[in-house]
Amino acid sequence: MPTADPIPLLKLLGDPTRLRILALLDREELSVGELARALGLAQSRVSNHLRLLRDAGLLAERHAGASTFLRRNGVALEGDPGPGLASRLWGALGEELAALPEHAADLVRLEGVLADRRSKAGEFFDRVAEEWDKLGIAFDTGQARHRAAAHLLPADFVLADLGCGTGYFSQPLVGHCSRLVCIDLSARMLDEAKKRLDPVRRSTDIEYKVGGLDALPLADGELDGVVAGMVLHHLPELDAPLTEMRRVLRPGGTAVVVELAPHGEAWMRGELGDRALGLAPADVCAAFERVGFEDVALDPVDDRYCPKGPDGAVELSLYAVRGRVPRASLSARNGATN
């Protein structure tokens, strides 16, 4: 039996933007507007690609009132050359999508879109008090610090907040660890952290130390876990601070960083001391692996950073990266001393 020409389908899947669209719609059903936000593209540009994908039968639609929701069509298509060529091609391409330079950032933005969807259903306002943070901490849900804390339990751990500033990321750790070391280059920042943390220290022994991430004032293997929230984009490079994190962690210890996805808010260099305008998640993951962490994982977080710029507040995507010191380090270290 003759089959359809495969060339049009191959050409359709050869466009990186259409691959990004299908990758997102393979993970989540989205409206056209939500999809455009997740891609960081104009809706008109996205619509042109959607028309081609829809005409090829690669999209499934669901109508809800005035809204149309889209998802990748995983059903074998009529006229496919062979049994379900479109599905078989997509199955082969799926593992290669991480090589697309924009894919990791798409996933971070997707988490922001889904957070907005949940907030519109009322969940956001159930979590946020009416008088939330009048002092100007510019996060909209605060979940980034709680996500970081969740990676650092159980509660008898010895933890450190590196580049702690005024203690924003330290606060959810208090009461969930036996000892917490807050480290920052600025003594005045540490004074502000004391004001925030000492009144709520509960069962946690809190220490405050002046120091930089390239030379932490800690002994080898002193900690069970470290968190560095919104710090790495202030530094000239990644390997030195991550090497120091690995040094001060015990075998099996965990490091978590929370960072900004790449953005274009150049005013933040002067106003907030940012050296880099966000960091690519793939670059941070690669640096974790390069200095010897294992089980490295990228974790998009349901939170955004919302600093006030010259034209008002902006909304910037966040993500977390986690890595663990190999447990084998313990036996290797013991063997070296015998």
pLDDT one-digit tens code per residue, 208-239:
999 999 999 999 999 999 999 999 999 999 99
* pLDDT for res 2: 45
pLDDT digit string, tens, across residues 296-334? 999 988 889 999 999 999 999 999 999 999 987 444 444
Pick from 171-185, 267-281, 324-338: least confident: 324-338
Tokens for 82?
A: 């062979």
Pick from 4-8, 47-51, 129-133, 271-275: least confident: 129-133
Angle at which helices 281-290 and 103-120 cross, to 10°:
120
By C-alpha distance, which of 258, 256, 190, 183 is closest to 224?
256
Q: Which pTM does this prediction carry?
A: 0.54
Q: Give the position of tokens 């305008």.
A: 277
Q: Which helix (H) or strand (E) holds 208?
A: strand 205-210
Residue 49 has pLDDT above 60, yes or no: yes
pLDDT class for 295, splitting at 50, 70, 90? very high
Where are the chain's structural domains? 7-100, 123-337
Q: Phi and psi dihedrals of 156, rounded to 5?
A: -90, 10
Instruction: Please list the residues that pair with 62 across neighbouring strands.
Output: 69
Average pLDDT taken over every residue of the chain: 82
Residue 76 has pLDDT above 90, yes or no: no
Q: How many CA atoms lie within 13 A of 50 on its CB side?
A: 23
Query: Where is pLDDT greater, at 249 or 331?
Result: 249
Q: Which CATH architecture has domain 123-337?
A: 3-Layer(aba) Sandwich (3.40)
Determine the length of the chain. Answer: 338
Q: Phi and psi dihedrals of 285, rounded to 5?
A: -60, -45
Cα 308 from Cα 265, distance rounded (Å): 11
3-state secondary structure of 195: helix
What is the Rg, in whole angstroms, of the alpha carbon atoms belonging to the chain?
Answer: 23
Range 7-100 classified under CATH 1.10.3720.10? no
* pLDDT for res 13: 79
Residue type, position 215, single letter: A
pLDDT class for 258, splitting at 50, 70, 90? very high
| DSSP per-residue string spanning 58-97 | -EEEEEETTEEEEEE--SPPTT-SSTTHHHHHHHHHHTTG
